[in-house]
């Protein structure tokens, strides 16, 4: 999986936040960025989109970020999920992160370098899970082949 195919989804009800992060990622990375100001629309798109990392704001009027990321996990269990949170919401956000099993949170106002590190690590984590899942499938196939071979040998020799 190369970086060209890597997709990062950004969800925040504030267009200026989504737009700023999108501009930054488009300048500094080769990630494909999917920007959304509506969590409902973002969830609807997850049916068709392969997404590696999802960054979502905590305080959104339509749906809070933790609920959104929990529902996103049902649709795309392998995507790494990051919560974006204002200083005032930090305490609630941390509790929610633990409950929802999120990867990390990034505090607003964000630092672009720090955000890049968190997103890159999140993408890598997703890719590692993907590779691990592929190896597991290979291992299972090999195991089945081995079992079949064993059966044929038993039949041939006994």
Q: Which chain residues interact with another protein by CB under 8 A?
A: 14-17, 19-24, 26-28, 59, 61, 86-88, 108-110, 112
| Least Cβ distance, residue 99 to another protein (angstroms) | 17
* CB-nearer residue toward another protein: 23 or 141: 23
* CB-nearer residue toward another protein: 87 or 153: 87
* CB-nearer residue toward another protein: 42 or 46: 42
Secondary structure of the chain as H, E, C letters: CCHHHCEEEEECCCHHHHHHHHHHHHHHCCCEEEEECCHHHHHHHCCCCCCCEEEEECCCCCCCHHHHHHHHHHHCCCCEEEEEECHHHHHHHHHHHHHHCCCEEEECCCCHHHHHHHHHHHHHHHHHHHHHHHHHHHHHHHHHHHHHHHHHHHHHHC
| Least Cβ distance, residue 53 to another protein (angstroms) | 18
């Amino acid at each position: 999986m190369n970086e060209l195919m890597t997709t990062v989804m950004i969800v925040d009800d504030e267009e200026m936040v989504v737009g700023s992060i999108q501009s930054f990622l488009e300048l500094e990375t080769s990630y494909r960025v999917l920007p959304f100001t509506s969590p409902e629309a973002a969830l609807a798109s997850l049916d068709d989109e392969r997404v590696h990392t999802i960054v979502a704001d905590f305080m959104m009027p339509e749906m809070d970020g933790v609920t959104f990321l929990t529902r996103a996990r049902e649709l795309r269990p392998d995507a790494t999920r990051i919560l974006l949170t204002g200083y005032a919401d930090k305490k609630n956000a941390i509790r929610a992160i633990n409950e929802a099993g999120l990867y990390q949170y990034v505090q607003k106002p964000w630092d672009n370098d720090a955000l890049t590190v968190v997103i890159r690590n999140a993408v890598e984590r997703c890719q590692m899970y993907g590779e691990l899942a592929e190896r597991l499938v290979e291992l299972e196939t090999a195991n089945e082949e081995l079992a079949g071979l064993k059966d044929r040998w038993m039949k041939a020799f006994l």
